[in-house]
Amino acid sequence: ILNVEQSPQSLHVQEGDSTNFTCSFPSSNFYALHWYRWETAKSPEALFVMTLNGDEKKKGRISATLNTKEGYSYLYIKGSQPEDSATYLCAPSSGGYQKVTFGIGTKLQVIP
Amino acid sequence: SQTIHQWPATLVQPVGSPLSLECTVEGTSNPNLYWYRQAAGRGLQLLFYSVGIGQISSEVPQNLSASRPQDRQFILSSKKLLLSDSGFYLCAWDHGRNPNIQYFGAGTRLSVL
């Protein structure tokens, strides 16, 4: 089982603030890195999946970067809104693309 | 469009009783199927995945088993539940190619008492 670390574990920001989270994972036998958003009482929803070192993805105010050589990914949220409140999960796959290991997540609370 | 159905939403079972959770996917064929569990204070843990009918890969030794009797049906079972089986169980599917975005069901909250 991969050791996937996410930081911080929780975060409170004011509406309009920008924020970022970190995910670190073992870089060996890497297949892909997923970011999911999990809102309370809903199912996890995919944000991004990245496979190549240096990949950058963007979806609206949210973007992510990937460094497979050193084993980390950053997720950025620009101008946080209350609807961004959720737990953000990082999930690398290793040893097979089906073998996805989820981190414990970063719980974001955006205060209006 | 594809949809995933998972039931029941909540379940309270006594220790030693059997378990059967079912997951079905509609609108796609030959998906990969997954069972995850989130125990209290822990992250999502991959329990089983399946790349085809009758093909099950187990990721962690445990008291549970999985079966895929049909292409779009995935079942999680136990003959005798333990207290440690309590948790939130999620079924997911993907199209079966890398990179694989996974789509999750609504989950089952299992309490073993």
| DSSP, residue by residue, chain A | ----EEE-SEEEEETT--EEEEEE---TTEEEEEEEEE-TTS--EEEEEE-STT-EEEETTEEEEEETTTTEEEEEESS--GGG-EEEEEEEEESSTT-B-----EEEEEE-
pLDDT of residue A95: 79
Interface test with A, best of B68, B102, B109 (most A CBs within 10 A): B102
pLDDT of residue B62: 79
For B32, nearest residue in chain A (alpha carbons): A98
- The DSSP H or E segment spanning B44 is strand B44-52
Please choose, from the candidates B17, B21, B27, B37, the residue with its C-alpha nearest in 3D space to the C-alpha of residue B86. Answer: B37
pLDDT of residue A1: 64
- Which of A31, A43, A98 is closest, CB to CB, to B32? A98
Q: Which two tokens stand for residue A86?
A: 């959720």
Are A102 and B44 a contacting pair at CB < 8 A? Answer: yes
Cβ atoms of B85 and B64 within 8 Å: the answer is yes
Taking 70 as the pLDDT cut, the residues of chain B under it are none
pLDDT of residue B99: 81
Q: How would you list the strands of the sheet with B3-7, edge to edge?
A: B3-7, B19-26, B73-78, B65-70
Taking 70 as the pLDDT cut, the residues of chain A under it are 1
Q: State the Cα–Cα distance between residues A5 and A112, nearest whole angstrom.
A: 29
User: Which residues have CB under 8 Å from A63's CB, separation 6+?
Assistant: A56, A57, A75, A76, A78
pLDDT of residue B39: 87
Cβ atoms of A17 and A111 within 8 Å: the answer is no
